[in-house]
Amino acid sequence: MYPLEQLQVYHIGTTSEYLFHLTEDVMLRTELGLLSSAFSVDVKENSGCCVMHSVLDPSVSVGAGSVVEYSRLGAGASVGVGSIVSSCWIPAGLSVPDSVFMHSLCVNHKQKTRFVTVVFGINDDLKRSVGAPAFMEDLNLFGVSVAESLFRWGLENEALRFSGDASNCSLWGACLFPVCSDQQSSFSLTVEMLQAALSGSTFTLPRDTQLMSMQEALQCKDLQQMLEFRTGLYEDLKQRKPNN
């Protein structure tokens, strides 16, 4: 038992803190023995990133200050600077921009197994709320208003649904993310939406696409399927790691 005065407390309560402590905080990394690559393959050493339990094609690049965890990245895929990629299957050639958080979930949707990939800016305030959907202009996503993002996706403001309390509308409950039949198409579609929002270009969702919020995705997540994805990564990593 260490005296209290010898203990240190590290607070990791935000995405920014998570990135800092896992990629830049030399003291914490030293104390916990954190590595740039933990049980992963084809990760370039000394790249300033942190990759955990992931399979990367040798051609993949991960920017400094980014964290990739429990993910699979195909040939030519890339992750920008200061981003978090969690539980994602990134198809070949796709790119994750700087300073975003992307997370894929398997969900039970209308009695079927489906996938949702959520994305937020690292500095987006998911807790900020407005009293009604009519005030969505006051909610910012990737540095622009939610209303502007909807316009770029070809959606009317009235089409946006908020889960939970109708008088407490926030990014957490904004139904912005497409429900797809498989993990890769889920990631691809969300990336297309993200790129349109960031570039100011327009993008039209496939007809009859269902949209879900982060809140809903967590409420109906399929933990068994998500664990099976991680198990697949583990088995693949065992086969690829040298001396195993």
Q: Residue 158: inside a domain, yes or no?
A: yes
On average, the pLDDT of the chain sits at 90
Question: Residues 16-25: pLDDT tens digits?
Answer: 999 998 888 8
Q: Residue 16: inside a domain, yes or no?
A: yes
For residue 215, pLDDT beyond 80: yes
DSSP 131-145: SSGGGGGG-EETTEE
Question: How many C-beta atoms lie closer than 10 Å to residue 161's C-beta?
Answer: 16
Q: Residue 244: inside a domain, yes or no?
A: no
For residue 244, pLDDT beyond 50: no
Question: Could you list the residue range(s) of the whole structural domain that residue 52 is in?
Answer: 9-98
How many domains, the chain? 2
Q: Residue 2: inside a domain, yes or no?
A: no
Give residue 141's pLDDT. Answer: 95
Q: Which residues contact 200 (CB under 8 A, 6 or more apart)?
A: 152
Q: What is the pTM of this model?
A: 0.91
Q: Are residues 86 and 115 in the same domain?
A: no
Please say which residue of 43, 67, 98 terminates a domain.
Answer: 98
Give residue 10's pLDDT. Answer: 75
Q: Residue 238: inside a domain, yes or no?
A: no
Q: Are residues 118 and 211 in the same domain?
A: yes
At residue 222, φ and ψ (nearest 5 deg) are -105, 95
